[in-house]
Every structure is written in C-alpha cells, then in structure tokens.
Amino acid sequence: MPSTITVAQLATIIDAVPTAIVIVDGQGRIESVNAQAARLFGYTSGELLGETIENLVPHRLRAQHPRLREGYVHAPQTRPMGAGRDLFGLRKDGTEFPIEIGLNPITADEGLLVVSAIVDLSERKRLEARLRAAIEAAPTAMVMIDPAGTIVLVNAETERLFGYDRDELRGQEVEVLIPPRFRAHHPGLRAQYLSLPEARRMGESRDLFGLRKDGSEFPIEIGLNPVESDEGRFVLSAIVDISERTRQANETLWVANEALRRANQDLERSNLELRRFAYIASHDLQTPMRSVTSFVELLSATYADRLDEQAQDWIRRTVRSVHQLRTLIQDLLEYSRIDAVERPFEDVAMSGVVEDALALLGAALSESGAKVVCGALPVVRGDRSQLVQVLLNLIGNAIKYRAAEPPLVTISAERRRDDWLFAVRDNGIGMEEKHHQRIFEIFQRLHDPQDYPGTGIGLAVCRRVVHRHGGRIWVESELGRGSAFHFTIAGREAPTS
C-alpha cells in the first residue's frame, strides 16, 4: 500500500477543523484527537492519546464496541456510524451525551486509520424534546408524518379526538384518519403539498372530515406546516374538530330559516285574510249599492220636475259616484276571486281569448278609432276566463291611455324554451321607468280619475292571473313613447292562428 500521509500531518489538519475529530488505528487505539474533540469529552488531548476509543463509549455499550469496530476495519468505507441507532458519548466526568459519528477510513504510513467526526446532538435533542413537549401539550390534535405519509408522531389530543392509542397510529399511513371515500385522492394531494410546501390551511374549498377508530366521522379543519429534517420533508398538521361550530352554524341557519318560514306563513295568512275581507266586503256591499243606485234613479225619474237645478246636479253626481263605486266593488271582487276559483286548467286558444276581450271592449274600441293587430297566437294550458280578463285589461289600458293619435295595439307571441312570451304594445302616453313596478300593485294609479277613469286594480289582476299560470308580467315603456306589456305563460303547442 503506498504511503500517503502521516498521523502527524493528519493531526495538524484536524486541529484546524471546527468539528470534533478522533483518529484511531486498526486496533481502536487513539492516534490523534483535536482540541474540539478533547473539549467535547472533557479531556485534554494528551490524556486520550494511546487510550482505546472505548474510553469514550458508555459502559453499557462498551462490550459490543470492539466487535463493531473490527467489523468496520474489515470493510472500511465512508459512512455514518450506528445507522438507525441512537449513539452516545461518555465524558470524563461519567456523563453521557447524544452524538452522531461519521467514519472515514484513511490509509496512512502507519496503516489503516479511521477518522471519526463527532457531532454533539445534545442541543438538537433538547430542541427536539422541547418541540415534542410543545406538541404533546398542545390543545389541538397534532399529527406529524414523514415524507412517505407515515405517521411518526401524534399527541394526546389526537388520541382523544380519533379514539386511538398513539402506538396504534405510529407507523400507519395517515390515510387511516380519513374517511375511505376521500382516501384515493389523498396521496396525490400530499405529494402536491410536499412539492410546494408552505404553512397553510388544508382544503380551503372543501369540507374535510376525520375518521375515528369507531368508524364515525366528524368535520375538521386542518393547518399544515412543513418541517425540514435530515430525513426529508415532514409535515406537521394541526387538526381542529369543528363539529360544535358546524352544529352552531346549522342551528343559526335553522333558526333563521324557521323565522323566515314563519314570516312567510304570516304573510300568506294576512294575504289570504285580506283577500277574504275584500271578497266579503265587496260581495256584501253589492246589494246595498244596488239599492242605492235604484233609489237614486227612482228619485231622479219620479221627482225630476219637482227638483231644482241644484238638486238635479247633486243627483247626477251621486249617480256618477255610485257608478264608480260599483265598478270598484266589481273589480275588487274579481281580484279577490282569482285564487279562490278551483277551475282546472284546460287548453286555451289565445286567439279566441283576444277575440272575446275585443268583443267585451266593444264600444270603447270603436269610439277611440283603435286599430288592433294580432299576430299568430298559440294554445296554452290555463284558465280561459282569467286569461280573457288579462287581455281585456291590457288592451283596455292600451286604448284608455292613448295619446293624441288613434290607438294602435299590437298583440304578439313568441315561443321560448319553457314558455310563451306575449306582448301587448301600444302607441299611447307611456310612463316613466320609476313607475314600471308600482303599477302592478293594487290601487296604484298614475293618473287622476277625472282624466282617465279607473280603479287601479286591472294590472294587479293581470299579475295575479299570470302568477297563477306560473308566469311573469312586466312593462317596458317610456313617457310619451307608448308601452309594451309582456307576460309569460307555460305553453306546449305550436301557434294555431
């Protein structure tokens, strides 16, 4: 073997190295110790020279050491010592301390030498112990996994939360803590996290669940922390049971829902009561109204010549008012009846509906010189007389709210995916956009009865009928530029006329 270096030369080199280094010969005799190594073990360098290395090995491990040492000499290579075992050094004062040792065989003039670099692990072990203690005492369940996803550490809270003893968990894949339906995806997600690790919450956009030993599940929230170590990237996860929070949130939601449901019920009840009242009031008012009308008419017919002009004027006014009141009562009665009728829906040809409405408008139509243009209209499922009511109100309004020129009313229908869209357009006075919603409320009018007579019920009737047919009604209009009333009705057949 060619000579390469002497112990003396080596000693000079290792003295300059900040690591503790001990050089032994093939028999385990200490050939050289640098100052750091001597200090680490509590000796002076001179004290150790010529002693066997076993002096630095704790008594309990000493017996087996020469055998291990000789094994190394027979197959020397650069490697860490005691793979998988915890190593300890023995100080001169008899105390032990954890160490890590790297072994390097060197061929010197004196033969084979083994250079051991010794690292004191006390500080690291202390930190590790402190970390473990902190994890153990944490009020949150904490689970540490190694790069392969194997559980290496769990704390007391994890045992409590998942119902396992720590020995049952250590060495298992972390997937045991996850419900089976999420397991297949998990290793992929884990790998993803390891490739881009940062402290963050897990599953921001998903609901996460933990699986107890007894098979039950519970909602959780997880915080992830990468932990770098010599053995690779570990992940420390903090797991919080959010059952209570979820339960409370659900409870709040339930309470809110319940309140909403009750408010809705109240509203429906009061709507129903209102309609009942409207029905009873208008129905019961009809008879006395009729007798008021007949008596006033009788009065004016029988005593006309005996009454002066003033009295006659009052009677005329009374007749007008009574007439108006009767119209109001009739409209109200009609409005309150919309939901009361239980007539089943039938196939209704909308062209016939328009014809009926036009016939009912009769005089108003001819007097105004109106022109009505009607496109092809479909057959829909509905309540025929109510649909006549809708068209009567819409066409009637189109004529009533006319501008200077004779009214032109266009009626059309258009097939959409699930319904028919109808339009009744006019060239009348139109209205400002701010009124577009309001006019469908009962009694809402934009005009003085002197200018345009009416009760403000017609469009409210239209809306109720359209709603009853599962549709919607709205207006598109501008002041002075006419109006287009649109409504939808669920329809199934092709236009027939």
Binding site for ligand ADP (CB under 6 A): 393, 397-398, 401, 426, 428-431, 439, 444-447, 454-460, 483
Rank residues 213 and 436 by Cβ distance to ligand ADP and give the closer one.
436
Residue 113 in 3-state DSSP?
strand
Rank residues 378 and 428 by Cβ distance to ligand ADP and give the closer one.
428
Rank residues 379 and 409 by Cβ distance to ligand ADP and give the closer one.
409
* CA pair distance 434, 478, nearest whole angstrom: 10
Residue 260's alpha-carbon distances to 210, 246, 267, 268, in angstroms, are 33, 21, 10, 12
CB of 425 to ligand ADP, least distance (A): 9
- Asked if residues 491 and 416 have their Cβ atoms less than 8 Å apart, the reply is no
Strand partners, 225: 236
CB of 432 to ligand ADP, least distance (A): 10
- Asked if residues 436 and 475 have their Cβ atoms less than 8 Å apart, the reply is yes
Rank residues 34 and 389 by Cβ distance to ligand ADP and give the closer one.
389
Residue 495 in 3-state DSSP?
coil
CB of 460 to ligand ADP, least distance (A): 6
- Asked if residues 386 and 349 have their Cβ atoms less than 8 Å apart, the reply is no
- The answer to whether the Cα torsion of 55, 59, 63, 64 is positive or negative is negative
* CA pair distance 299, 475, nearest whole angstrom: 45
CB of 480 to ligand ADP, least distance (A): 10
Rank residues 37 and 387 by Cβ distance to ligand ADP and give the closer one.
387
Count helices and strands (H / E) in the chain. Answer: 15, 19
CB of 327 to ligand ADP, least distance (A): 9
Rank residues 227 and 423 by Cβ distance to ligand ADP and give the closer one.
423
CB of 471 to ligand ADP, least distance (A): 17
Rank residues 419 and 426 by Cβ distance to ligand ADP and give the closer one.
426
Strand 379-382 to 346-349 pairing: antiparallel
Q: What six digits make up the tokens of 23?
A: 């050089």
* CA pair distance 177, 109, nearest whole angstrom: 60
* CA pair distance 31, 49, nearest whole angstrom: 6
Amino acid at 130: R
Rank residues 36 and 483 by Cβ distance to ligand ADP and give the closer one.
483
* CA pair distance 83, 309, nearest whole angstrom: 127
Strand 87-90 to 79-80 pairing: unpaired
CB of 369 to ligand ADP, least distance (A): 17
The string of DSSP letters for 150-165 reads BEEEE-HHHHHHHT--
Residue 228 in 3-state DSSP?
strand
Rank residues 155 and 397 by Cβ distance to ligand ADP and give the closer one.
397
Any idea which residue has 């990237």 for tokens? 233
Rank residues 172 and 330 by Cβ distance to ligand ADP and give the closer one.
330
CB of 476 to ligand ADP, least distance (A): 11
CB of 396 to ligand ADP, least distance (A): 8
